[in-house]
Amino acid sequence: MQLFYMSEVTTAPALTAKDFATDQEVRWCPGCGDYSILAQVQKVMPTLGIPKENIVIVSGIGCSSRFPYYMNTYGMHSIHGRATAIASGLKAARPELSVWVVTGDGDSLSIGGNHTIHLLRRNFDINILMFNNQIYGLTKGQYSPTSEQKKITKSTPMGSIDHPFNPLALAMGADATFVARSMDRDPKHLQEMLLRSQQHKGASFLEIYQNCNIFNDGAFEVFTEKSSKADETLFLTHGEPLVFGANKDKGVKLDGFNPVIVDLNEGHSKDDLWVHNEKDFYKAQILVRMFDDPRIAGHLPRPFGVFYETERACYEDVLQLQIDEAIGTKGVGNLDKLLRGNEVWEII
């Protein structure tokens, strides 16, 4: 038996954001919203208490998908739209790892849309960070699945006629167990949402509004600029009424199933308002549909925060139970025997 004196006992030094940065030159356009998201992820990672070697970041193709190069963890810059599929396989084989998918609106909702919805319905314990800039940036400015109608781009010179995806509505439709939204220009809120995503046991889908200042500058300006943010955004807090506005004098109440804006200075009080409940599936369906064009008069504010969270068994846990049951009843398998099969022919 070996004895240790107090003076000899050492503990691993606490990690900092710098420990999660690499020596790689960050290659995004100056002013890109990805810089802010990278900074917030690097700030949050040390607080998780997870060793760097147990964290894996998987990306697909796009500007956001350079993320693994800049994170001092394990990672994989994979193929277009398949980050969610690769991450699913990794989590199934190594369930103890903290797996993160970094993807964009084109990567995850166009070529990768199929893989995204299946990861969500299977409920792997994986965190999806979906950077939404409503444009294809890496390929120099084509419209994406989240671009608004009439959007003029290099691939839609007369304006897009596609109806855009509502990413959070899609996630709810795929039975995601955690659905949230944040933005690149609100670091404190983004850090909070990153923590909530990681704390959730199951597939978390975090949409992050990210400004592409080269090909779609100002797409979310109405939600991020100081002059308009308070009146155009609705920050969700579990158990709190839906209040917004520069003076916190506006609220949202339900008229049946329809959300309506009321003035707290004109005959209404907070007691009349819709109280947010992250566990309410049906009201979450209404919240994700508060997706009005802010240029239209009478539009509703855009919600940010956790829309919905629930508990459901994770795919990798159920898979392991199935494997254990099979071994318990049939014993440890023999791969050579399985490959050979039961039907053998002898050629004379």
254-265 average pLDDT score: 96
CATH of the domain at 206: 3.40.50.970
pLDDT for the residue numbered 333: 86
- What does the DSSP assignment read for 283-296? HHHHHHT----TTS
The answer, yes or no, to whether residue 218 has pLDDT greater than 90, is yes
pLDDT for the residue numbered 12: 63
Q: How far, in Å, are 64, 131, 220, 282 from residue 178 at the CA level?
A: 21, 16, 23, 14
Does 299 reside within a domain?
no
- Weakest-pLDDT range from 65-69, 88-92, 116-120, 292-296: 292-296
Tally of domains in the chain: 1
Does 78 reside within a domain?
yes
Q: Measured between alpha carbons, how far is 17 from 48 in angstroms, rounded to an integer?
A: 12
The answer, yes or no, to whether residue 10 has pLDDT greater than 80, is no
pLDDT in tens, 292-346: 999 999 999 999 999 999 999 999 999 999 999 999 999 998 888 888 888 777 8
Q: What percent of the chain has pLDDT over 90?
A: 90
Does 271 reside within a domain?
no
Please give the residue range of the domain that contains residue 105: 9-219+313-326
pTM of the model: 0.92
Q: Is the dihedral of CA 47, 305, 164, 112 positive or negative?
A: positive
pLDDT in tens, 116-162: 999 999 999 999 999 999 999 999 899 999 999 999 999 999 999 99
Does 83 reside within a domain?
yes
Give the rounded distance of the alpha carbon of 138 from its chain centre: 20
* CA nearest neighbour of 201 among 95, 106, 278, 102: 95
Q: Measured between alpha carbons, how far is 66 from 152 in angstroms, rounded to an integer?
A: 27
Does 139 reside within a domain?
yes
Does 273 reside within a domain?
no
Does 261 reside within a domain?
no
Does 208 reside within a domain?
yes
pLDDT for the residue numbered 9: 46
The answer, yes or no, to whether residue 2 has pLDDT greater than 60, is no
Q: Helix, strand or coil for residue 240? A: coil
Residue 229 corresponds to which tokens in the numbers above?
């943010």
